[in-house]
Amino acid sequence: MTMAETEDRRANVQDSLRHITGLLQKHGLVESLVHRQQGPRQELVENLVQKLHLVELQKFLDALHPADIALILESLPLEQRLVVWELVKAEREGEILLEVSDAVRATLIENMDEQELVAAAEQLDTDEIADLAPDLPREVIQDVFKSLAPEEREQLRAAMSYPEGAVGALMDFDMISIRDDITIEVVLRYLRRMDEMPDHTDQLFVVDYAGRLKGLLAVNRLLVTDPETVVTAVMQTEPPRFRPNEKAHDAAQAFERYDLVSAAVVDEGGRLIGRVTVNTVMDYIREETDSDVLFAGGLRGEEDLFASVWKSVKNRWTWLAVNLVTAFIASRVIGLFEGSISKLVALAALMPIIAGISGNSGNQTTTMIVRALAVGQITAANARTLFAKEIGVSLLNGLIWGGVVGLFAFLIYHSWQLGVVMTGAMVLSLVLAAIMGVAIPLTMQRFGRDPAIGSSVMITALTDSGGFFIFLGLATLFLV
């Protein structure tokens, strides 16, 4: 390494450090460190920045939870991110890779060699390796695979076989199962021989001789039950259970509704093959809602905050292209009425009002329907009631807001005819928006598409072109 490179690197580290300390202060994470050192906080932070030893920074990182290091990595521009990443202890790389967002993970993996990646993956459980697998080079996976025990290989193969939205993809294999014909005493002795129990073990899974799930024994019940009792006498029968091919979305809803901490996953024959825990479910829900929010904002997926310009452009182009097409259509609808506009130029200034408000109103309806569909509140039986209600709302809104915009048009252009056309166009556009606002998500659902994705673009496209057409059409009929 040349002198200049060293200098350069030091400056980077300095930046990162300032940055990290800033972040840490902000998240209150620095406090524990400060308390340990008994100095005033500000002083310590400044000292850290000034001392500026790589070692210091490394110690600092070592004391942090992997999830916090992940957050810091996500918050750093690429160069600084890589400096920090190099300082992270090799044996922690695996768990940190699991915590960072997909986009940031890709930037880290790009900068690791095969050997490092294999080492990082080998520290993880098989279900965790499966989570990383899509981002790892094929050779790395093969190497990791070879290093596993036969049973683990089987688990990894199983875990990798489920698609992202399936229960199988959330599953881990860290469960404790016991036989149903033993006493609590025996269970307690069995547990006491363990060094520790897996995280989130709120219950033991009771199986028969063939490994079929028979019931659940809550750990808390274990503690309050007479040791002489037989497991079957205190276990919960008919336990909630999932199949690995079920939708993760449905399993997540069950966790939310029934306040589960863990749940069994069984195969076709009812044999216990894994479990799902609440922390995985919480991460899944976070990803699900995040991707809805990002999608609603026109982003294809989570974007690295500091992605290159080119990567960002690629992440955003689909949406802009779709919107461009709908904008071209709306533009051609207006083009149909250029004759009317040239005779009455006020139409050009007024038309965006109609399109805009009916777009908003349609989106209100769609948002409500999409949410109701996601929780499963809409059936064939109540859909008609919903249509009726939304049309009622749009008629009332049409009269109220149509009245306001009509008055606006009258006050500015001193033509009561123009005002009346505005009001009429508003009512019609809002009714169109209401009908489409219910119909679009319902239709998408019926055809097996996710209504959360695309409903909003479609309704906006429709209300734009529709609003222009209705307003300019009415104006052409009655005013020009």
CA angle 184, 190, 196 (to 5 degrees): 120
- Whose Cβ is closer to a copy of itself: residue 64's or residue 117's? 64
Hey, what amino acid is at 165?
G
The CB-of-133 to a copy of itself minimum distance in angstroms stands at: 21
- Whose Cβ is closer to a copy of itself: residue 141's or residue 456's? 456
The CB-of-424 to a copy of itself minimum distance in angstroms stands at: 17
| Residue 183 CB partners (closer than 8 Å, separation 6+) | 227, 228, 229, 230, 231
The CB-of-267 to a copy of itself minimum distance in angstroms stands at: 18
DSSP 100: S
The CB-of-364 to a copy of itself minimum distance in angstroms stands at: 5
Rounded-to-integer distance, Cα 256 and Cα 259, Å = 5
Q: Cβ-count burial of 384 within 10 angstroms (0-12 exposed, 13-18 middle, 19+ buried)?
A: exposed
The CB-of-396 to a copy of itself minimum distance in angstroms stands at: 5
Per-position DSSP letters for 441-479, written without gaps between them: HHHHHHTT--TTTTHHHHHHHHHHHHHHHHHHHHHHHHT
The CB-of-182 to a copy of itself minimum distance in angstroms stands at: 15
The CB-of-25 to a copy of itself minimum distance in angstroms stands at: 9
Per-position DSSP letters for 246-312, written without gaps between them: SBHHHHHHHHHHHT-SEEEEE-TTSBEEEEEEHHHHHHHHHHHHHHHHHHHTT-SS---TT--HHHH
Q: Among candidates 355, 354, 337, 386, which has minimal Cα distance to 460?
A: 355
| Residue 422 CB partners (closer than 8 Å, separation 6+) | 350, 353, 354, 402, 405, 406, 408, 409, 471
DSSP H/E element including 241: strand 241-242
- Whose Cβ is closer to a copy of itself: residue 73's or residue 207's? 73
Q: Among candidates 172, 246, 190, 243, which has minimal Cα distance to 213?
A: 243
**Which two structure tokens, joined as six digits, stand for 308?**
């290159």
- Whose Cβ is closer to a copy of itself: residue 148's or residue 299's? 299
Hey, what amino acid is at 109?
I
- Whose Cβ is closer to a copy of itself: residue 41's or residue 300's? 300
- Whose Cβ is closer to a copy of itself: residue 54's or residue 307's? 307
The CB-of-335 to a copy of itself minimum distance in angstroms stands at: 5
- The CB-side HSE value for 83 (13 A sphere, CA atoms) comes to 23
- Whose Cβ is closer to a copy of itself: residue 132's or residue 357's? 357
Starting at the earlier edge strand, list the strands of the sheet with 177-179: 177-179, 203-207, 213-218
The CB-of-75 to a copy of itself minimum distance in angstroms stands at: 4
- Whose Cβ is closer to a copy of itself: residue 133's or residue 296's? 296
- Whose Cβ is closer to a copy of itself: residue 138's or residue 384's? 384
The CB-of-266 to a copy of itself minimum distance in angstroms stands at: 15
- Whose Cβ is closer to a copy of itself: residue 148's or residue 260's? 260
Per-position DSSP letters for 120-182, written without gaps between them: HHHTS-HHHHHHHGGGS-HHHHHHHHHHS-HHHHHHHHHHHTS-TTBGGGG-B----EEETTS
The CB-of-177 to a copy of itself minimum distance in angstroms stands at: 15
- Whose Cβ is closer to a copy of itself: residue 96's or residue 140's? 96
